[in-house]
Amino acid sequence: MRFSKMLLPTYKEDPAEAEAISHKLMIRAGLVRQLAAGLYIYLPLGLRVLKKVNAIIREEMNAIGGQEIIMPVLHPAEIWQQSGRWYDIGDEMFRLQDRTKRDMVLGMTHEEVVAWLASREIRSYRDLPQIWYQIQTKLRDEARPKGGVLRTREFLMKDSYSLDLDPEGLNLSYNLHYDAYCKIFHRCGVKYYAVESDPGMMGGAGAHEFMALSPAGEDEVSLCGNCGYAANVELANSQPPLVSSPAWNFEEVATPESRTIEEVCAYLKIDPRLTIKSLLLMAKDGPIMALVRGDQKLHEKKFRRLVGEFRPAHQEEVKEHAGVEAGFLGPVGLAPGRNLPLIADVSLKQGIFVAGANREGYHIRGVVPGEHFAAKFADIHVAMSGDACPSCNSPLKVEKAIEIGNIFKLGTKYSLPLKALYLDRQGQEKPIVMGSYGIGPARIIAAAIEQSFDQDGIIFPLSLTPFDVHLLPVNLKQENVQQEAEKFYQKLSEADISALFDDRAEAPGVKFKDADLIGIPLRLTISAKTLKEHMVEIKIRQTGEVHLVKLDQALSWVQNWINFHTKK
């Protein structure tokens, strides 16, 4: 492709609206342009990268027996009403009516359509198992699109669905996907972790997320460098490091005007880890007190799994149920008749603490959980870096990550309501057991860039690069430079090596800067300087290495380099 003819607008400066590295670079290098919040145009260069990703996905999906189909973006509301998600999902679903006032949905995912199709076309156990997939547009009315292509309202997704006879079959399909996903992300040159995840609204028996580490990520994963434990912090268990407590006696201490943990610690000159944070929460069965150590945070999702929906109590409710103002709340010495259920974090199992005294202006020192109050113990804190790994006790690291893929065991959540049934060997009607599996190609691109760039621009992995070679003649007005560049461009094309040929009349500096910004793995510079010696210069973007290669050997040099670095 000739640069002079290509829609490839590059920017010298960072766009004002971009924060994430990948977002800045994708705009500057001319991969994408934003139409509106969460809506992106892929320019020719960006589309080339996207197609590379999709080709890898297709190869690996086909390799596990996946069959590609395309389902509509526009769905009749009925199937979503049958699955119940018409009612469960709120504003995130785009809804509209057709001209006859029939309710319609813009698909945010395709479980319903797959179950509908299976209900018609799968009849016998002989028809199973099946894996169907598509690479297709999804629409979600996101509350807050962000991070460039990382979270958008319209995006491409590879979604696949497995249909099996029984849970054992599902396990096999699930594992096939797990392995295929590992291959896909590896081939795309992305560093990732497969972590256990919360099945959430998808329901079902198990789930993993594939997480690419990046500061631009919206998720956090808890990682153990020792045993390989990896989990989304939404589920991650951990043991916060213990602190040895002073041999306090059980006594009330005055803490005037000290309400927050910070204030109390400053006043008493103690470590926050020696305090108990008491939170009054309103659950559906009434008020509950949650206790976490002063340095810890309550994990709302973990807590919700224990007690169902809840919300923090209002000021007046604290007063009503605990008989004291927020700030002096504690598990010990609640007034008679005010027996609140207590749920305490596991980090409070051992130790002697300071807690609110349920009396204005006072705290109690020397509180021993289990002795001075009875509570149900559970892991309800947010895992933090430095906590001990739940399986090997080594220190954990918590890092930000981009969710590039996920896999779910659905079970019969969709097949039952949509009547996706089959007849087994005994002629019995059984529900198909389903799994659902997603990959965000745009997120792979963003993650690859987040993990591979420098101050000059993108450093594309060979597997995703829009072109293999950046052919850069320094001065086309010099006849030999022009001739050799054209000749070499021709040779590359005959050898089926894709090249971006910078045939512009720009100054050398401009061309070099653009080459670095776009980040194609190999740059071939053709100039009078090296042509005198019948040489061309080959620069490797990744390492910065520069090789001078004989003109007539340059093509095979490039071919060898590409073959050697291609991931299988």
Partner RNA sequence: CGGGGCGUAGCGCAGCCUGGUAGCGCACCUGCCUUGGGCGCAGGGGGUCGGAGGUUCAAAUCCUCUCGCCCCGACCA
Closest CA to 470 of 462, 478, 563: 462
Query: Can residue 163 be called a binding residue for RNA (CB under 7 A)?
Result: no
Q: Is 255 in the site for RNA (CB under 7 A)?
A: no
Single residue of 57, 537, 554, 558 touching RNA by CB under 7 A = 537
Under DSSP, the state recorded for 339 is: -
Q: Which amino acid is at 300?
A: E
Q: Are 80 and 145 in contact (CB under 8 A)?
A: no
Closest CB to RNA among residues 82, 258: 82
Site for RNA (CB under 7 A): which residue of 62, 171, 475, 559?
Answer: 475
In whole angstroms, the minimum distance from the beta carbon of 247 to RNA comes to 38
Alpha-carbon dihedral angle through residues 188, 49, 12, 475, given to the nearest 10 degrees: 110
408 binds RNA (CB under 7 A): yes
Question: Residues with Cβ < 8 Å from 231, sequence gap 6 or more?
Answer: 195, 196, 197, 221, 222, 237
Q: Which CB atom, from 208 or from 363, has the smaller least distance to RNA?
A: 208
Q: Which stretch binds RNA (CB under 7 A): 281-289, 320-328, 446-454, 473-481?
A: 473-481
Which residue, 101 or 477, is less far from RNA as judged by CB?
477
Residue 75 amino acid letter = H
Pairwise CA distance, residues 356 & 375, whole Å: 16
Strands (E), 237-389: 251-254, 276-283, 286-293, 310-312, 342-345, 353-359, 362-367, 376-378
Whose CA is closest to 232, among 279, 299, 173, 322?
299
Q: How far is the CB of 38 from RNA (least distance, A)?
A: 6
Q: Which stretch binds RNA (CB under 7 A): 162-170, 362-370, 389-397, 472-480?
A: 472-480
Contacts of RNA in 439-458 (CB under 7 A): 456
From the list 72-80, 118-126, 182-190, 507-515, the region that binds RNA by CB under 7 A is 507-515
Near RNA by CB under 7 A: residue from 331, 383, 514, 519:
514
For residue 270, the tally of other CB atoms under 10 A from its CB is: 18
Residues 335, 358: contact at Cβ < 8 Å? yes
Which member of 77, 306, 510, 540 binds RNA (CB under 7 A)? 510
DSSP string, 238-266: -BPPP-PPP---SEEEE-TT--SHHHHHH
Is residue 552 near RNA by the rule CB under 7 A? no
CB 342 to RNA: min, Å: 23
Q: Which among 32-40, 274-282, 424-432, 463-471 is the span making contact with RNA, rule CB under 7 A?
A: 32-40
Q: Which stretch binds RNA (CB under 7 A): 7-15, 270-278, 356-364, 415-423?
A: 7-15
11 binds RNA (CB under 7 A): yes
Indicate whether 227 belongs to the interface with RNA (CB under 7 A). no
Q: By 3-state DSSP, what share of the chain in percent is helix, strand and coil, each rounded to 5?
A: 30, 30, 40
Q: Are strands 499-501 and 469-473 parallel, antiparallel or unpaired?
A: parallel
Listing DSSP states for 375-426 in one string gives: -EEE--BPP-TTSBPTTT-PBEEEEEEEEEEEEEEEETTTTTTTT-EEE-TT
User: 127, 300, 325, 424: which one contacts RNA (CB under 7 A)?
Assistant: 300
Angle at 524 between CA 519 and CA 525, to 5 degrees: 110
Nearest distance, CB of residue 367 and RNA, angstroms:
29
Asked if residue 474 binds RNA (CB under 7 A), the reply is: yes
Considering only residues 118-147, where is the footprint of RNA by CB under 7 A?
140, 142-147
Stretch that binds RNA, among 18-26, 47-55, 59-67, 426-434 (CB under 7 A): 18-26
The minimum distance between CB 265 and RNA, in angstroms, equals 24
CA distance 83 to 434: 14
CB of 551 to RNA, least distance (A): 12
Only one of the segments 316-324, 351-359, 367-375, 503-511 lies at the binding site for RNA (rule: CB under 7 A); that segment is 503-511
Q: Which SS3 state, helix, strand or coil, does residue 131 take?
A: strand
Task: Name the residue type at position 459.
Answer: I
Site membership for RNA, residue 539 (CB under 7 A): yes
CA distance 184 to 177: 10
Nearer to RNA, 7 or 36 (CB): 36
Binding footprint of RNA on the chain (CB under 7 A): 10-20, 23, 34, 36-38, 85, 88-89, 92, 108-109, 111, 140, 142-147, 151, 200-202, 218, 300, 406, 408, 436, 438, 456, 474-477, 505-510, 512-517, 525, 527-530, 537, 539, 546
